[in-house]
Structure 1
Amino acid sequence: MQNNFPRIYSLSTIGIKQHFNADYLFHPYRTDFSGESGSGKSMIADMIQLILVGSSEFQSATDGNKDRDVKGMLLGSKGKTSSRGYIFMNIEVKPKQYIAMGAYLESSSNVAEMFIIQNGYDWEMLTTLNRPIFTKDLIIDDKVEALNNLCDKIAFVRIKSFRRKNYHQILYDNEILSLDLTKETTLKAYASILRSFSRGKGFKKESENLKRFLFGDDDKNIIKAKYDEEVKNITNDFHEHKRYLDEIRLINEKQTLLKNVLEKSKVYKSTYSEYLIKRYNFWNTQKKKSSQEQQELNDELEKQIEELKFIKNQIIKIQIKELKELQNLKETVVRLENKEESNTDIENKFLKISQSKASIETVEYWLRLNNNQLERVKEWFSFQKKEHKSKKNLQSFTDYLKENNALSDFEASNWLIDFEKENIEFPRRIERIEKEIAELQSFSKFTDINNPESLLNWAIESLKFPVSPNIESALIYFQKYGKIRPSERNAERYVPSPGDLFENMNSKIKEETDHGFWLNLDGVYEYIEHSSSHVLNVSDPKQLLGPIQKVKEGITNRLSTLKIEKKQEQKLKEILFAYGNLKESISLYKRKNDLSNFNIEETLKEISEETLIQNIELYNNKKSIDLEFTSIQKEYQDFLTQKNTIDEYNKKIKELESKFFKEDLVIGINSIENEIEQFINNMYKLKNGFDKELLKEKYVKDISHESKLLSTKFDLKQTIDDLEKNKKEKEDNHTKANLELDETIRLNEYLFKSEIKFSEDIIELTNPENGELNSLKFKAEQSKVAYDEYLKIVTENTPYNELISIGKLANYLLPTVFPTSTIDENLITYNIVERLNKLTQDIQEIGSRKMEILGSIFNEVYRVYNNYLTKISEIDSYLKKKNKVITGGNRASLLSKPSIHFPTSWLFNFRKQLNNQLNNVGLFSELREEIDINVMMVKAFHQFGGSAKIDPEDLMNPKSYFDLEFDLKLDNDESNSGSNGQTYTANALLCLARLSLIEVEGRRGLKIMPIDEAEGLGSNYDMLHKLAKTEKHQIITMAIETAGEITNDGQYIYIMNENNLADTDTYVPPLGIFSDIIVEDITNYINTIPSNE
């Protein structure tokens, strides 16, 4: 047995379709799985692929009716529970030393969870197991546990799950895998190789697919990443390049501006200095003038305030006098009111007797209206009151009818003409209307010839036309009963078979009058009126359409009129009978004209019958009442005189109180005394501060007249207010002068750093701001604006300081030339020229760096390209070795040819001339001018022979410069399409060659070759068999029949059974046939199986 460690010792399944719980021991060299299609043999290759590459890159190698995904490998579960399963391999890393690796599957996910089983705790350097792990070791209590539970429950070994990259890293570090599958490109390539070995997926021979299969994208991505890094640096250089160009343009633009700024600065400073000096002198003069005027105003204001105090003092004296008068009046009123209280009864007596006298006069007026007869007055009173009430009731009834929009209907109704009669006739009239409506509705149905219920419809179909008037009348009459049987609750006649009724109807007519006829209905005589119209007397029923339509329209209109009439009649009755005392109200309405003209005597409106009787009794006592009135009248006149006096006093009191007190206060003697005392105190406060005698003499004529004093007070206040305003104005002028002086000083400091020295003695009467466009201020501002505007142009609308110095301006305009504001103005031109030379040199260096980067990138592209060609040649040589001859004298051939679109000549020439740039100044100067390096690259490609429209990324791909041809060729180098077996053998050889490219030489690791449908390879299988043995690959074959020669010691064979629809009870395990060499191991394995299995 060859020493090809590490190798697959066994493959185990738990809960997997077609395999259930199985352990497959692998021969160190060759293991065969044979059986019919659907026996599960192809799943062996899929399970090995899944364990080795993981679920992210897993694809089944077999084409089936549907995609075989990861969870599709699991057995189905009963009910809604998810199913679980395991597939794992024991890897024998040294004799009798094992590491187990596998995948845990759940039906709820297509992502397999990878795990490793070892004997130690260090998961970087694994500790081998001293025996392999089998299915029985991972099934606990006949239950398939989830992986995380399994890790906790199994103690005799260590199990741990890993993310795919960590899983591959551990296997690579422990030399179980010879490939670093943490790299995506290597993982994809290895998965593709395993699927290609397994034959299930067609091998793509197109040039691009071959290049991707053999070389992947690592080199291209490395070059691209390097280029991206360089581009990032070039991007920085681009900004520098652009910045240098911008700076050169800025220098050329700004250097001529400095001189103009200096000239405008001189004009501005000269004019503005003159303006500030004159401004200071003018406002200093104004300040002194306002101070003098303020003093004069203060003196006059003090004089006017003294006079105001004097006037206020005199007014207070008069007010004290008036308050004392108010006090005396209130005391007098109190005395008079006490006396008046004793005479209160006389007022009541006089009021009462006056009322009695007025009542007598009213009765006398009534008597005059009624021939001086008291009885007639009483009758007249009753009539007036009754008619007045009737008029009010009539108005209420009329208003009610108006509110319900029923007045006009009522006036036109019989209810107004004869209420009793209408009360009897109304239901009869309604009944007649309803009867007519029913007849019209029946007749309307009769005229509807489209209605199956219409007897006219029946007549048109069944009777012979023209129809006699009697038959037509009978048709109309019986229409109201209809043809449908009514319910028993509403039992009535109906005409289910009109033919039975109208058959020989003329013989059933027993008596006829002008208005109708009697019809014999089996002994029952029924009277039928003649129809008012006769329309069926036509020979052709089609002639009925027009006349019938007119009749129907007339019926419809009449029905509408009757329904409206019925509704209006019923509504009017409801409105009327909802009103109380209706009959009496209707009687009053008949008298509406008389009642409307009636107006009750004004003196009776508010008089009740009781009051009438009382007034008549007073009239009967007229003499005694007249005597009493005469006796009381004189006493009452005296009472009124005293009362008027009190009213006059109260009027004066109210006038004085409203002058000195608030209206809502109750004013007592104490309040007046307090007010007098307050006025005396105020007068005391005002007695000082003025020359009393002098002012008395001045106001001698007004001193006793309050109104004149108040007028004088008002005038003095107005004068004081005017003086205060003038004083405030002068103070404001003084303040303004100070502010203007402060502003002038501030401007001097701000604009000229206080270089201007102001004098305090110069008088300036002309404001330098006067004169508008001719003012000195305008000229100064214009010179400053001209300077500022030019400065704004210079600084390109950016914020600026109008006090900027030439040094700061130079630093601002050209900061790279003048890094500080301290400069020598004589060296400005020299500094600018020196800076321009430096910028030009830097731009040339940036262009050179870009060319160097392109040279470096394409040197690497050229190197990798040549390396690819070398590997292609090596693979082709590998394929042409003697031990790799395919049946029929065929050999696999892999050849490269130059790309049409990407000629390699441009790479050679471009790199060559980059090394000799001094001799190609024109060409590379043009490229250096291009700032975008991608554009430089494409432009160089076109200048050196490229013509295709390409992407820069393709130029940097070494695989772009060649195409591949993979064929079967005979010894005469003639291409041969080959059979499926020959083609597969060629693909397998190419896979082995591809592995040689990605494997690290001399590194240990699993080497397997899964071959599906191996029996179809014929003798090619023997060649692959020998090749695998030579290169230490384990072969796993899947075929209907075992391929190649069967030996006693060179292979294991599993004969699979069809278990597509099997369950646990019907599953038939495969038959294992093992070589002689390891019979003892098989015996030991069988002995470990429990007896119940």
Structure 2
Amino acid sequence: MQNNYPRIYSLSTIGIKQHFNADYLFHPYRTDFSGDSGSGKSMIADMIQLILVGSGEFKSATDANKDRDVKGMLSASAGKSSARGYVFLNVELSPKKYIVIGTYIESTSNAAEMFIIQNGYDWEELTPLNMPIFTKDLIINDKVDTLNNLFEKIDFARIKSFKRRNYHQILYNNEILSLDLTKDETLKTYANILRSFSRGKGFKTESENLKKFLFGDDEQNIIMEKYREEVGNISNDFHEHKRYHEEIDLINKKQSSLKNVLDKSKIYKSTYSEFLFKQYNYWNTLKRKTVIEKQKAVEELENKKVELKFVENQIKKSKIKDLEELLDKKKVMANLAYKDSYKEEIESKHFNIKQSKTSVETVDNWLKLNNNQLDKVKEWYEFQTKENENKRNLLGFINYLKNNNLLDDFDISIWLNDFEKASENFPIEIEKLEKEIIELESLSKFSDLNNPESLVRWATENLNFPISHTIESILIYFQKYGKAKPSEQNANRYVPFPEELFENIDSKVKDKNDNHGFWLDLDGVYEYIAYSPNQLLNVDSVEFLIKPLSEIKEGVGKKLNALIKEKSNKEKYKEILFKFNNLQENIDLYKRKEELISFNIEESLDISESKFEQFIRLYLDKDNILNQFNLIQKEYVDFLSKKTVIEECNKRIQKLETDLFGNKENIDIEFVEKQIALENKELAIQENDLQELINKFVFDETLLQEKYLSNQSILNCKYELEKECREISDNIQQQENTISISNQELTETEQTFEQLFKHQPEYDENVEEFSNPENGGLNSLKNKADSTKFNYEFAVKKILEEMNLPYDESISIGKLANLMLPTVFTSLAVNEDLISSNIADRLDKLTQDIQEIGSRKIEILGSIFNEVYKVYTNYLTKVNEIDSYLKKKNKIITGGNRASLTSKKSIYYPDSWLGNFRKQLNTQINNTGLFSELREEIDINKMMIKAFQQLGGSTKVEPEDLMNPKSYFDLEFDLKLDNDEINSGSNGQTYAANALLCLARLSLIEEKGRKGLKIMPIDEAEGLGSNYDMLHELAKKEQYQILTMAIETAGEITDDGQYIYIMNENNMASIDTYVPPLGIFANEVFEDIDEYINTRPDDE
């Protein structure tokens, strides 16, 4: 038996589906699980994987319809909402010395809890058990308890749960595992290898996956960590490098701005100083000139005020004169006044008598036209009024006809030509039209084969064709009566049963010799029937009737519509016409239309009859009326004369009152007298004031009298003088404003100069300047000065804004230089002439510092890439070693195939750049070419990328890729024949190659000389064929425990070299229906494995 300790002694399950509570002893060399699908054999590898790697990296090695998760391993418990279970291994460290490792699973989580069982209390160095632990030991009172409860209930050993990382650390320290699975990369690789052995979800054979599988990321991570540490150690240099570059950029950027501000400052000070001197001289000159002009204006205003006072006195005298006239007019009106009642009486009497006189004169004119005979006048009036009334009636009748659209046809209407005859004939015409309409309607029905009332339709169904002219005439004749019973009260016949009428019809026809018709015997009553004008029914077939009858119906329809319309129009015409009152009288007037329309009544006769009779009565009293008119006319003329005088006085009074008092009302004589006295009093005061002004200014009054007394428009003179006084006053005010503004401008100019140039100006008061330096728009000196000031301030403001500082118009050049370049100008005292040399000195110092920092970063890159190259070459060496391992004789795969692992250089990351870069680093070409540029780069990552690109690398690259040793080569893993021809291989061959690579990978990560479990779980092993034998021998040599899972046991069965478990199908089994496997141990078959375990000798 192999001495391959540590090794798996047994696998136990509690509450696991398809296994339930089972113990499986493992042979030190080989253990087989065989059985059909669903027997749970594949779960063996999954359970071992879960125990060794933990739930975090666990993935089922076998593909299924859905993902196999951790809690999916538990068997469902009937009637319970949750389940729990255990999977654990007895690891035999040395003969009869055991440590138990396992996992506890609950259905509420996919995170399994790792635990260890030992015999001691020291969890750093484990104490082995003397006996293995089996399922029965952890099931207490037939109950699967929680792990926490087991801690308290088990007293024969020590049990404790651990976090995954602590669990693996303990197993590694105690040499249960030869791999340090606390490292994430090693853990992932080991999990992949276990799954790959199980022919499940193993590694992928693409280059990147192969590299990651074989070498992991640990060494890359070490390089990256070293790089970050080195970069961190010089982090202050990065900041300094960046700060130095920023300062250089700042100096280069701002030194031109500073010089620009200096130049603009000089131009601004020179130009603005010139402007301020000219501005002071201009306002000083304007002020002196304005003072002189103001004195002249004051004298002129005083003279105008004397003239205005004289004119106002004259106007006052004129007003007193108008008041005296108003007083006289009011007194005249008082004497001439009369009562309003008299005015109304005389005007009424005069109007009435004049009307009577006019009436008499009108009758005189009528008599002249009628031989002075009053009777003829009356006859003439009656004739005129009668004709005028006839004309009105006629026009009303014409409008009625026009409004009802009858006028156009009325002139030719029979109603106009002979009203009585038209009235007599109208019923006859309507009756005739109705008869024709009935006959046409009958014929229309007769010719309509689709109408059930049609006798032709009846004939086509009941009579033989051709039909004789006589029968056709009878059909047409009786069609007008119809087959249906009529609703009209005066209708007296219809033909409900045509077959009775036409039964023996030939015997009923009498007197056939008449060419126009015949007599029909209707039970003793003879009725004359005329022959139809056109015979249609004398055809052999009804089909020949369709077209002729259709043409007849169409023609009858048109004629019928025309007759209906004609009848309707006649009835409507008569109806509208007869609605007009006195129709016949108006028709007679219409016959005199031209005569009456041209008639115009005598204008004087267009009066009412009562008015006409009044005119006649007045004419009969002609003499009396004329006498009264003469008397009243004389009195009326006197009234009008007096009225004219009063109206003229009133008009003048109104004019004077309006001019003197505006809209004031009730101005009586007493008020006017008081107003005259008041005005005289005011005049005396004004005369006295005028005299005082004349005496004060030594003015000649005679000149005023000559100038204004002869002027007819004295009031206009007043307005003109007032206007002139206002204009002179306004002018004086403007001059005062000008003087005030001048004083203000002079003060502001002095203050501005002192504020800008920090000293008082020295002005020459005698210098004259007549041109305002502010005038001239864009060409003015003011605009030029403002432009230079604006340019200077804008430059300063722009600099301060870029520095996020508020604008300060008082800032000095020294302060600005200090703010812009504080490292160059450390104080406010700056010599403008030395600014350029100060800046140059500072730039030289910064450049030297940057080169020193760049050298330190280049040293870091050299160290890192020496390490990258070292690991890279080590990887290539390991690839060659693995390939050599795969080519050994004991690793031949069926068909003469061998697994092959080769490397080739990456086309994206050529290793030549590593050599060139390291060579330049080692030979220290520091001051020219590549390294001269790299020293200028602040970001060390960018330095790295720039170096890669300048030595032939691609533009799209990341620093992490450049520092990854795996970036510089690619791997190819193939099956090859002896002639190196690549073979795709069968599933078994491919698995064998993958298994070999897994063994090679394990040899890379295992520490030499360390002990640890070495197992190789192989699922579906029988499909490997003879490849299984190769792996079998290899595993034996390498001291691996082989676990095979297959439908049938793979390879040869030996007497003592293996254990075999024959699994039963328990896919749907419960704890009660579960069928345990058969166990074959050294040619003995056991149905009860527990019995075999419990009866084994102690030395086994």
TM norm. shorter chain > 0.5? yes
Give the letter for the 1:199 counterpart: R
Once structures 1 and 2 are overlaid, which stretch shifts more, 184-193 or 557-566?
A: 557-566
Cross-structure match for 1:1055: 1064
**Compared with structure 1, are the counterparts of its residues 763 and 960 closer, same or farther at alpha carbon in structure 2 (3 Å cutoff)?**
closer
Which of 855, 858, 865 aligns to 1:858? It is: 865
Give the letter for the 2:764 counterpart: S
CA positional deviation for 1:951: 4.0
Secondary structure, in 3 states, of the residue corresponding to 2:971?
Answer: strand
Which of 710, 720, 739 aligns to 1:715? It is: 720
Contact in 1 for aligned 2:86/2:105 (Cα 8 Å): yes
**Compared with structure 1, are the counterparts of its residues 634 and 955 closer, same or farther at alpha carbon in structure 2 (3 Å cutoff)?**
same
Give the letter for the 2:308 counterpart: L
Instruction: Kindly indicate whether residue 971 of structure 2 is the aligned counterpart of residue 964 of structure 1.
Output: yes
Superposed counterparts of 1:342-741, under 5 Å: 342-362=342-362, 372=374, 373-391=377-395, 394-395=398-399, 398=402, 481=448, 485=450, 491-492=453-454, 581=579, 597-599=598-600, 601-602=602-603, 607-608=607-608, 611-612=611-612, 614-619=614-619, 622-659=622-659, 687=686, 690-692=689-691, 700=705, 708-738=713-743, 740-741=745-746
Bigger CA radius of gyration: 2
Contact in 1 for aligned 2:251/2:839 (Cα 8 Å): no
Superposed counterparts of 1:750-789, under 5 Å: 752-754=757-759, 756-760=761-765, 762-764=766-768, 766-767=770-771
Instruction: Kindly indicate whether residue 206 of structure 2 is the aligned counterpart of residue 206 of structure 1.
Output: yes
Instruction: Kindly indicate whether residue 288 of structure 2 is the aligned counterpart of residue 284 of structure 1.
Output: no
Give the letter for the 2:391 counterpart: E
Cα distance between partner residues in 2 of 1:1006 and 1:858: 38
Cross-structure match for 1:462: none
CA positional deviation for 1:302: 4.1
CA positional deviation for 1:965: 3.7
Cα distance between partner residues in 1 of 2:40 and 2:197: 18
Contact in 1 for aligned 2:308/2:721 (Cα 8 Å): yes
Q: Deviations over 1:427-474 (max 9, x none)?
A: 9999999999999xx9xxxxxxxxxxxxxxxxxxxxxxxxxxxxxxxx
Superposed counterparts of 1:800-879, under 5 Å: 818=825, 822-824=829-831, 827-828=834-835, 830-842=837-849, 844-845=851-852, 848=855, 851-852=858-859, 854-866=861-873, 868-869=875-876
CA positional deviation for 1:377: 0.4
Cross-structure match for 2:913: 906
CA positional deviation for 1:10: 4.5
Cross-structure match for 2:924: 917
**Compared with structure 1, are the counterparts of its residues 771 and 202 closer, same or farther at alpha carbon in structure 2 (3 Å cutoff)?**
closer
Cross-structure match for 1:1091: none
CA positional deviation for 1:290: 1.1
Which of 985, 991, 1014 aligns to 1:984? It is: 991
**Compared with structure 1, are the counterparts of its residues 11 and 366 closer, same or farther at alpha carbon in structure 2 (3 Å cutoff)?**
farther
Cα distance between partner residues in 2 of 1:1008 and 1:685: 147
Cα distance between partner residues in 1 of 2:1004 and 2:416: 124
Contact in 2 for aligned 1:509/1:518 (Cα 8 Å): no
Once structures 1 and 2 are overlaid, which stretch shifts more, 573-582 or 318-327?
A: 573-582
Secondary structure, in 3 states, of the residue corresponding to 2:285?
Answer: helix
Contact in 2 for aligned 1:307/1:690 (Cα 8 Å): no
Q: TM-score normalized by structure 1? A: 0.62
CA positional deviation for 1:771: 12
CA positional deviation for 1:716: 0.7
Once structures 1 and 2 are overlaid, which stretch shifts more, 213-222 or 1027-1036?
A: 1027-1036
Cα distance between partner residues in 2 of 1:396 and 1:169: 122
Contact in 2 for aligned 1:329/1:649 (Cα 8 Å): yes
**Aligned-residue CA RMSD in angstroms?**
7.6
Contact in 2 for aligned 1:29/1:1035 (Cα 8 Å): no
**Compared with structure 1, are the counterparts of its residues 781 and 617 closer, same or farther at alpha carbon in structure 2 (3 Å cutoff)?**
closer
Cross-structure match for 1:537: none
Which of 742, 746, 753 aligns to 1:748? It is: 753
Give the letter for the 1:304 counterpart: K
**Compared with structure 1, are the counterparts of its residues 190 and 673 closer, same or farther at alpha carbon in structure 2 (3 Å cutoff)?**
farther
**Compared with structure 1, are the counterparts of its residues 683 and 782 closer, same or farther at alpha carbon in structure 2 (3 Å cutoff)?**
same
Secondary structure, in 3 states, of the residue corresponding to 1:963?
Answer: strand
Instruction: Kindly indicate whether residue 295 of structure 2 is the aligned counterpart of residue 295 of structure 1.
Output: yes
CA positional deviation for 1:914: 0.5
Secondary structure, in 3 states, of the residue corresponding to 1:756?
Answer: coil
Superposed counterparts of 1:993-1008, under 5 Å: none
Contact in 1 for aligned 2:89/2:102 (Cα 8 Å): yes
Once structures 1 and 2 are overlaid, which stretch shifts more, 334-343 or 170-179?
A: 170-179
Cross-structure match for 2:1020: 1013
Cα distance between partner residues in 2 of 1:750 and 1:649: 80
**Compared with structure 1, are the counterparts of its residues 1035 and 571 closer, same or farther at alpha carbon in structure 2 (3 Å cutoff)?**
farther
Cα distance between partner residues in 1 of 2:51 and 2:670: 116
Cα distance between partner residues in 1 of 2:85 and 2:1057: 25
Cα distance between partner residues in 2 of 1:884 and 1:349: 162
Q: Deviations over 1:250-278 (max 9, x none)?
A: 7997999899x59x949x86787566545
Contact in 2 for aligned 1:32/1:1054 (Cα 8 Å): no
Cα distance between partner residues in 2 of 1:71 and 1:361: 142
Secondary structure, in 3 states, of the residue corresponding to 1:759?
Answer: coil
**Compared with structure 1, are the counterparts of its residues 790 and 752 closer, same or farther at alpha carbon in structure 2 (3 Å cutoff)?**
closer
Cα distance between partner residues in 1 of 2:623 and 2:36: 154
Cross-structure match for 1:446: none
Give the letter for the 1:345 counterpart: E
Q: Deviations over 1:341-397 (max 9, x none)?
A: 355334334434444444555555566666752133033123213413533663576
Q: Deviations over 1:178-198 (max 9, x none)?
A: 999999989987886676455
CA positional deviation for 1:47: 11
Give the letter for the 2:448 counterpart: Y
Q: Deviations over 1:917-949 (max 9, x none)?
A: 1488455346667899888757755776x6888
Cross-structure match for 1:1087: none
Secondary structure, in 3 states, of the residue corresponding to 2:713?
Answer: helix
Give the letter for the 1:964 counterpart: L
Cα distance between partner residues in 1 of 2:708 and 2:367: 70
Give the letter for the 2:868 counterpart: V
Give the letter for the 1:1056 counterpart: E
Secondary structure, in 3 states, of the residue corresponding to 1:966?
Answer: strand
Contact in 2 for aligned 1:219/1:864 (Cα 8 Å): yes
Runs of at least 5 residues in structure 2 that lack an aligned partner in the other structure: 75-79, 91-98, 116-122, 124-134, 152-160, 172-178, 480-497, 506-528, 537-547, 695-700, 802-806, 1080-1085, 1095-1100
CA positional deviation for 1:287: 0.9
Cross-structure match for 1:341: 341
Superposed counterparts of 1:194-233, under 5 Å: 196=196, 199-200=199-200, 204-215=204-215
Runs of at least 5 residues in structure 1 that lack an aligned partner in the other structure: 14-18, 76-83, 105-111, 119-124, 139-150, 159-167, 443-476, 533-547, 1084-1093
**Compared with structure 1, are the counterparts of its residues 825 and 352 closer, same or farther at alpha carbon in structure 2 (3 Å cutoff)?**
closer
Cross-structure match for 1:1073: 1077
Cross-structure match for 1:165: none
Contact in 1 for aligned 2:391/2:599 (Cα 8 Å): yes
**Compared with structure 1, are the counterparts of its residues 362 and 246 closer, same or farther at alpha carbon in structure 2 (3 Å cutoff)?**
farther
Q: Deviations over 1:548-575 (max 9, x none)?
A: 9xx99xx999999999999999999989
Secondary structure, in 3 states, of the residue corresponding to 1:481?
Answer: coil
Secondary structure, in 3 states, of the residue corresponding to 1:822?
Answer: coil
Contact in 1 for aligned 2:906/2:970 (Cα 8 Å): yes
Cα distance between partner residues in 2 of 1:185 and 1:285: 97
